[in-house]
A = this chain, B = another copy of it.
Amino acid sequence: MSGADISFIIICTALVFIMTPGLAFFYGGLLRKKNMVNMMAMCFVSIAIVSVLWFFIAYSLAFAPDVGGGVIGGFDFVGLMGVELGTNPSYSDSLPHMLFMVFQLMFAIITVAIIASPFSERVNFGAFCIFISIWLIIVYSPIAHWVWGQGGFLGAIGCLDFAGGTVVHINVGFAALAVALVIGPREGYQKEPMEPNSIPYVLLGTGLLWIGWFGFNGGSALAANNIAVLAMFNTHLAASMGALVWMLIEYFKTGKFSTLGMASGALAGLVVVTPAAGFVAPVFALIMGGLSSLVCFIVLSWRASSKVDESLDAISIHGTGGILGAILTGVFAAIGAEGAILGNWEQVWIQLIGVAITVVYSFVATFILAFIIHKTIGFRVSSEEEYVGLDITQHGEKA
């Protein structure tokens, strides 16, 4: 075990943790004030629920030795039995197994919190809690297993995902889309103004997400080494370029320097670089960040004009940026992996397989799950409750 690595990954874990409160502010600021506490509560409850389930079962399904076929982990780590303070060489030689486990936990939390997007402003809080509990187990854990788990089949075929582009972003994007389709738009959607209630909160969230992402991507090196440095710098560069490009796009379209655009662009850059962070040279991170803003902007514009009320845009940013990132990782990878620029075009192909499988599984499984809950427990609050706002009706509180 290495003290330096332990020190690094503990702090990276803390940084990934702070992304979820950050997201609470990012998302909360984008909604109408009457639903802001509800959104923040969804993010915070994700921390609580995912952590407890991780302890009991979800970590085991994702990271316990494969039960066959590379599809799911077994029950070896149920209740964190066998997750000791010593190392588990399948995951790291220098970190206590428990540290690897808690670092991974933070990824699961933020993923689940991002999925709050399509639930915003219209959903029964209890039903949301039930949904995420099951979703963690039947969607997140398997996909995490495929890519990162011991024996997972996407990892086995050589699918590159440095820090979770597939597991976290593509997954959550398409899950969010599925949910949005099942539960339908908010009342008054596209008819009434639904302006963000606090840009400063959005920016606070952006700042916290950004710093957290240093831990997310940097920490994914699982050691305090130069790959961590590369990942961290690439992360920053892609976010910066993303912010700049999106802002300029909006400026040329509307004549205004949209601050929200800057924040969205930063996010688009952060998402796209996630699978690539430790594999590509900085110049490609720069390019990926800029490209991601462009592509996500187009998808977002299209989404916003559609009937799909997934208004915090997990699909347009995490989903889209995630796919783009996965593919471009296959193209630009050159450090510790070989992508198309080193002549290995097959990698792109492998990446596409990873994308396709994740998209399909995430979308279909989430759709079915959401559909069942929607038809049984029911997601939507009553029209009156939606009107009054969920802060009062679900939580008895006001922002």
Whether B3 pairs with A4 at a CB distance below 8 angstroms is yes
What residue of chain B has the Cβ atom nearest to residue A56's Cβ? B286
Asked if A366 is at the interface (CB within 8 A of a chain B CB), the reply is: no
Asked if A316 is at the interface (CB within 8 A of a chain B CB), the reply is: no
* Complex-state Cα separation, A195 to B397, whole angstroms: 9
State the main secondary structure of chain A at its contact with B.
helix
- State whether A237 and B98 are in contact (beta carbons under 8 Å apart), knowing that A8-B11, A44-B262 are contacts in the complex: no
Whether A14 pairs with B13 at a CB distance below 8 angstroms is no
Whether B47 pairs with A394 at a CB distance below 8 angstroms is no
Which residues of the partner chain B approach A18 to less than 8 Å between Cβ atoms? 207, 211
Asked if A126 is at the interface (CB within 8 A of a chain B CB), the reply is: yes
Asked if A233 is at the interface (CB within 8 A of a chain B CB), the reply is: yes
Q: Which of A269-315 contact B (CB under 8 A)?
A: 282-283, 286
Copies in the complex: 3
Whether B85 pairs with A229 at a CB distance below 8 angstroms is yes
Which residues of the partner chain B approach A96 to less than 8 Å between Cβ atoms? 226, 229
How distant is A82 from chain B, measured CB to nearest CB, in Å?
A: 12
What total of chain A residues lie within 8 Å of the partner, measured CB to CB? 98
* Complex-state Cα separation, A179 to B169, whole angstroms: 43
Q: Which of A208-256 contact B (CB under 8 A)?
A: 208, 210-211, 214-215, 218, 223-230, 232-233, 236-237, 240-241, 243-244, 247, 251, 254, 256
Whether B10 pairs with A282 at a CB distance below 8 angstroms is no
Which residues of the partner chain B approach A2 to less than 8 Å between Cβ atoms? 3-4
Q: Which of A1-51 contact B (CB under 8 A)?
A: 1-8, 10-11, 13-15, 17-18, 20-22, 24-25, 28, 36-37, 40-41, 44-45, 47-49, 51
Whether A224 pairs with B4 at a CB distance below 8 angstroms is yes
Partner pick for A398 among B195, B236, B286, CB 8 A cutoff = B195
Whether A48 pairs with B7 at a CB distance below 8 angstroms is no
Asked if A91 is at the interface (CB within 8 A of a chain B CB), the reply is: no
Pull 16 A–B residue pairs with CB atoms less than 8 Å apart, ordered by A: A3-B3, A4-B4, A4-B224, A6-B225, A6-B226, A10-B224, A18-B211, A20-B207, A44-B206, A48-B266, A49-B240, A86-B226, A196-B397, A200-B201, A256-B396, A259-B397
Rank and list the top 6 A-B pairs by shortest CB-CB distance, nearest first: A21-B207, A3-B4, A51-B240, A7-B224, A7-B8, A256-B396
